[in-house]
Amino acid sequence: MSARNATHDPSLRSWVESANQPDSDFPIQNLPFAVFRRAASAEPFRGGVAIGDQILDLAALHEARVLRAGAAGEAAPALAAEALAACSRSTLNSFMALGTDAWSALRAELSRLLSVTGTAAQHALVPQSAAEYSVPARIGDYTDFYASIHHATAVGALFRPDNPLLPNYKWVPIGYHGRSSSIRISGQEFRRPRGQIKPSGTEDPQLLPTRRLDYELEVGVFIGTGNALGAPIGIDDAERNVFGLCLLNDWSARDVQAWEYQPLGPFLAKNFATTISPWIVTLEALAPYRTAWTRSAGDPQPLAYLDSPRLRQSGGLDMQLEAAIETQQMRAAGQAPQRLSRSNFKHSYWSIAQLVAHHTVNGCNLEPGDLLGSGTQSGPTPQEAGSLLELTVGGKQPLTLESGETRTFLADGDRLILKGWCEKAGHPRIGFGEVSGTVLPSGS
């Protein structure tokens, strides 16, 4: 768990004035990473850091050689320079592989450059409104977990009213290996997927466009250094192998899923599209918003490899999550998106460290840029559900939108917007930006 340092100082201000606004997602205490270029240009993609409504171009900063040299024998400036060079590339994998000391050293130098003490980096700013983004890392593997007990219980109750939560859930972090090739950046548009569906009352399945298309409000976890094959990561070392977090929407075709998922789990119902936000917020930036991780005394306590005093003290994260919808009719009328629900990552039954430790306990190797999904993050009340499957009780209770439209599942033209942020008295808001995606009509 990252310790607090000078970069977390609530009194810090940047000479980028938009970063000092109280509603900014990207104050100087945040400094999240992305891969970008100027929109509609032939420029190479490269690393950038968000500051207010601007992007600090890390390739331009590297070329300008503005980082301090440091005193003889001082390791941090050399680490920061190495990290900055790695951020000049088209993906952040090399930077992620450098590890926590390098990430922290670069963060400290960028905080210094962007503070009120000088404007040496002013030439390297690009407005976010003038940029386009790429998936920030080459994602070798993607694993999606099922870490919210509230989601697991609500969904289980729809299909197994007498036994909604299977007996292994409280013992083991459940996950499945997803498809990394269809992960795209915010703004993704995708066609309504087709698959085998067995409509109620029929004997045989049919190949049809999904009629029960859903979103899932998730947190994405980008792996940093990772581990060698056969070398498990211990629970107290797990977060040293996590570079940072993003927002993630794991689009789901619920009717396809219902027919195909037994006995091996999700397949075509999940692998057609996954959308992530462009910005990765480092765990170091989130240090002030850590919370205790708890397990109810009435529940089984985790096995030893999934438990530790450090986890219990600060393994949770107080992170607000929100889902909103913008229908085609709302766009035409100029109406703002409507919030569907709000939840919090602190309700997660399994922590980030536990997901990493469990993923590797059998010797599985995680590599820089690998992505873990938290699974749908639902809270303890129905209004905190992270999917339409829960909000509409399996499609039985349609939602009436402010536009007068109703939804059980997503319609063509619908745009889903997910947001996330951390806030705490005496500290600035740390935001994740947003992740959005739009449903297009099914192809032939």
Cis preceding-peptide flag for 428 (omega within 30 of 0)? no
Task: Look at 240 and 120; give whichever has higher pLDDT.
Answer: 240
Residue 72 reports pLDDT greater than 70: no
- The pLDDT tens digits for 339-365 are 999 999 999 999 999 999 999 999 999
Residues 165 and 51 in one domain: no
Query: Number of structural domains, the chain?
Result: 2
Q: Which of 4, 10, 13 is nearest to 52 (CA)?
A: 13
Q: How high is the pLDDT of residue 73?
A: 56
Among residues 263, 266, 236, the alpha carbon closest in space to that of 254 is found at 266
Q: Which domain holds residue 78?
A: 6-134
If 0-12 CB within 10 Å is exposed, 13-18 middle and 19+ buried, where does residue 360 land?
buried
Which of 110, 134, 158 finishes a domain?
Answer: 134
Share of the chain above pLDDT 70, in %: 98
Give CA angle at 212 (211, 217), nearest 5°. 145
Distance separating alpha carbons of residues 49 and 58, to the nearest angstrom: 7
For β-strands 415-424 and 427-440, DSSP reports them as antiparallel
Question: Domain containing 17 — which CATH number?
Answer: 2.30.30.230
Query: What is the residue type of 371?
Result: L
pLDDT of residue 208: 95
Residue 327 confidence class, pLDDT cut points 50, 70, 90: very high
Under a CB-based contact definition with an 8 Å cutoff, are residues 219 and 321 in contact?
yes
> What distance in Å separates the CA atoms of residue 272 and residue 223, rounded to the nearest whole number?
23
Does residue 270 lie in a domain region?
Answer: yes
Burial 425-443 (b: 16+ CB within 10 A, else e): eeebbbbbbbbbbbbeeee
Residue 245, SS3?
strand
Say yes or no: 234 and 370 in one domain.
Answer: yes
Inter-residue contact 125 to 54 (CB < 8 Å): yes
Q: Predicted confidence band at 160 (pLDDT cuts at 50, 70, 90)?
A: confident
Instruction: Tell me the pLDDT band of 242, cut-offs 50, 70 and 90.
Output: very high
Going by pLDDT thresholds of 50, 70 and 90, the confidence category of residue 200 is confident
State what percent of residues in the chain have pLDDT above 90.
90
Which has more confidence, 288 or 444?
Answer: 288
The lowest-confidence range among 24-33, 215-224, 265-274, 414-423 is 265-274
> Are 120 and 252 contained in the same domain?
no
- Of 67-76, 215-224, 284-293, the poorest mean pLDDT is in 67-76
Find the angle CA(397)-CA(274)-CA(46) to the nearest 5 degrees: 145
Q: What is the pLDDT of residue 230?
A: 98
Same domain, residue pair 357 and 267? yes
325 strand-pairing partners: 338, 416
**Assigned domain for 1 exists:** no
Q: Is the pLDDT of residue 192 over 60?
A: yes
Question: Which of 100, 134, 168 is the endpoint of a domain?
Answer: 134
Of 134, 168, 202, the one marking the end of a domain is 134
Which residues are catalytic, by number? 151
42-75: b (≥16 Cβ within 10 Å) or e? eeebbbbbbbbbbbbbbbbbbeeebbeebeeeee
Residue 402 lies in a domain: yes
> Residues 316, 292: contact at Cβ < 8 Å?
yes
Q: What is the pLDDT at residue 77? A: 84
Residue 3 pLDDT = 81
Query: Do 195 and 105 reside in the same domain of the chain?
Result: no
Q: How far is CA 188 from CA 330, 370, 403, in A?
A: 19, 20, 24
If you average pLDDT over every residue of the chain, what do you get?
Answer: 95
